[in-house]
Amino acid sequence: MTTTPMADTEPQAIRQPSNLTLFLRYLRRNKGLAIGVLILIGLTLFTVIGLLTVNPKQAYPLSVALKQPPSLKYPFGTDFYGRNLLVAMVYGMYQTALIGLLAGGIGTAIGVVLGFTSAYFGGWIDATIRTICQILTPIPVLLIQVVVAGSLDKRDVTILTMSIIVAMLAWMGPTLVVRAQVMTMKERQFVSVAKLSGVSDMGIIFKEILPNLLPFIAAAFVGQVFSAVFASFYLAILGLGPLREPLLGNLIWAAQNQGAFFNGWWWWPIIPSCAMILILGALALVNMGLDELANPRVRRTE
């Protein structure tokens, strides 16, 4: 006797609220992520509008009146070298973002490629990559960065070289994280089923496993951007950045050099410092928020 399916009089489609609504509701619960995202949006707007409106020349020395406190003409004041701090900030943030994204991108990309290769192919490839990571991880990153940056000729230190210096010891984390995730994921049954459906090894990596890793990769990327931005700050504060550029760290280093506080030019170091705190804080909040998003077990319910 066969079973005939009775017509389902119960309509299957429950009207789902749109993805945007669900996302906004989630933001309301995850306030950390929401605040972080808002701050970043604010800073981005500031930078973008700034880039479109201000005169870039004013970010460099001897372009405006020296040592002016904040006023209507110069909302953030000017510094010892004659830089309009507002313009300098705009460009400084732009360059910081560049370094962050560039170094963060390089670090994450290396991590993804090495992590995948290591986990999927296993054997001696895995052992080699893993050992290299484990050897390099305990190395004090700050010291190496300072040594490398310090030994370069001042003219060679550009945004690009800074990004490379920052990224060169940052890729181990993402590699190990991606590796761990891929190792668990390749044992999952949907990978077995994909194999039974004729999918090749490459197909499994790119079409089956990679899409599921996007949340982790995104979280790793934000983490990388955070460390890259942080590294660019402290290297610049130590005077090891590309000194000509109006990087936020550079501004503070210059201010310290000239004894800004003692001379009463308080706006010079304070304003870039506030900007730094905002940037790092926002990145940290977004990082923690993404962590919660990617790991549903941590999610709080309404």
Partner 1 sequence: MTIDTTPPRIKKAGSANADVTEPVLRVEGLEVTYYTDLGRARALDNVGFTLNSGEKLGMVGESGSGKSTMALAMMRMIKPPGRIEGGKVIVGGTDLMSLSEDGMRKARLNKIAYIPQGAMNSLNPVMRIGAQMADAIRAHVKSESRSSIEDRIARALRSVDLDPSVARMYPHELSGGMKQRVCIAIGILLQPNVIIADEPTSALDVVTQRQVMETINRVQSEINAAVILIGHDMGLMAQAVDKVAVMYAGRLVEMATVREMFTDPKHPYSQALISSLPNLDNKGVFQGIPGLAPSLLRLPKGCAFHPRCPYGQRELQSTVRPEPVILPGGRMVTCHLYSEEGHAHD
Partner 2 sequence: MTKNLLEIRKVSKVYQRGLLSQKATVALKEYSLTLPEDNPSILTVAGESGSGKTTLAMLLLGFITPTTGEIIYRGKNIQSLEGKDKLAYRHEVQAVFQDPFAVFNPFYTVDHLLTVPIKHFKLAKSGRDARNKMDEALNAVGLRPEDVLGRFPHQLSGGQRQRINVARALLLKPRLLIADEPVSMVDASLRANILESLRNLHRDHGVTIIYITHDLTTAYHVADNIVVLYKGDVVESGDVESVIRNPQHNYTRLLVDSIPWPDLNKKWGEPLKPRETV
Shorter beta-carbon distance to partner 1: residue 5 or 296:
5
Cα distances from 188 to residues 115, 194, 216, in angstroms, run 17, 10, 17
Of 3-11, 38-46, 61-69, 176-184: span binding partner 1 (CB under 8 A): 3-11
Nearest CB to partner 2, comparing residues 185 and 275: 185
Q: Does position 299 bind partner 1 by CB under 8 A? A: no
40 SS3 class: helix
CB of 165 to partner 2, least distance (A): 36
- Interaction between residue 187 and partner 1 (CB under 8 A): no
Nearer to partner 1, 155 or 300 (CB): 300
The reply to whether 18 sits near partner 1 by the rule CB under 8 A is no
Q: Give the count of alpha carbons within 13 A of 166, CB side only.
A: 33
Please give, one letter per residue, the 3-state secondary structure of 155-202.
HHCCHHHHHHHHHCCCCHHHHHHHHHHHHHHHCCHHHHHHHHCCCCHH
Under 8 Å between Cβ of 264 and 80: no
Is residue 17 near partner 1 by the rule CB under 8 A?
yes
**Span from 61-69, 130-138, 190-198, 224-232 in contact with partner 2 (CB under 8 A):** 190-198
Residues 194-203: contacts with CB within 8 Å, 24+ apart?
Answer: 201/120
The size of the interface with partner 2 (CB under 8 A), counted in residues, is 20
User: Is residue 288 part of the contact set for partner 2 (CB under 8 A)?
Assistant: no
- φ, ψ (nearest 5 deg) of residue 84: -75, 115
Closest distance to partner 2 from the beta carbon of 213 (Å): 9
In order of 73, 140, 288, 289, 301, the CA distances from 296 in angstroms are 50, 33, 13, 11, 10
Q: Where on the chain is the footprint of partner 2 (CB under 8 A)?
A: 2-5, 8, 12, 188-190, 192-199, 208, 211-212
Q: Where on the chain is the footprint of partner 1 (CB under 8 A)?
A: 1, 3-6, 8-11, 14, 16-17, 22, 25, 301-302
